[in-house]
Amino acid sequence: MSKERELSERIRRHIPLAETMQIAVERLAPTEVVLSAPLAPNVNDKGCAFGGSIVSLLTLAGWALLREAVAGGEDAEIYVVDSRIEYLRPVYETLRAHARFPAELDGAAAARRFREQGRVKLSVLAELRLADGTTACRLEGRFAAFGAERDRGPR
């Protein structure tokens, strides 16, 4: 089974919203993650993509990027610290989120810091791109990753 399919199934199993949205992992690499979801289960009353679905997909793409880039696809506790979103145009097609790190970020150094210190906080850029390549929505966020062995207290 491909790592994309494995992560798609894991996300859908652990996040009920992802199952409802029919999220799939299309590309999973330490430098870019692409997630998609069909329009039909994510539509609003105007016939375009629901803003809550868009921000959920973009946030999950950032989460998956951090998981792949710094934790090497292994279990890590990853949290959104904060985010800012811009809705630029309506979406009437499959939702496709592209997440990457800012150009100035050294991903290898961040992964090394995570392995050495067991935690890291990084900025992520995620864009919802239309089929013609235009950006319909942009999320800038900071995410934190902690090693799975970290004491997190009762759940």
By DSSP bridging, strand 76-87 and strand 95-100 are unpaired
> CATH says 3-147 is which class?
alpha beta
Task: Report the alpha-carbon distance of residue 31 to residue 24 in Å, rounded.
Answer: 18
Task: Report the alpha-carbon distance of residue 25 to residue 7 in Å, rounded.
Answer: 7
Domain ranges for the chain: 3-147
How many other C-beta atoms can be found within 10 angstroms of the C-beta atom of residue 31? 12
Show the tokens assigned to 140: 């800038």
User: Any residues with CB less than 8 A from the CB of 103 and at least 6 apart, and which?
Assistant: none
User: Any residues with CB less than 8 A from the CB of 5 and at least 6 apart, and which?
Assistant: 25
The pLDDT of 111-128, averaged and rounded, is 92
pTM assigned to the model: 0.91
pLDDT in tens, 21-76: 999 999 999 889 999 999 999 999 999 999 999 999 999 999 999 988 887 877 78
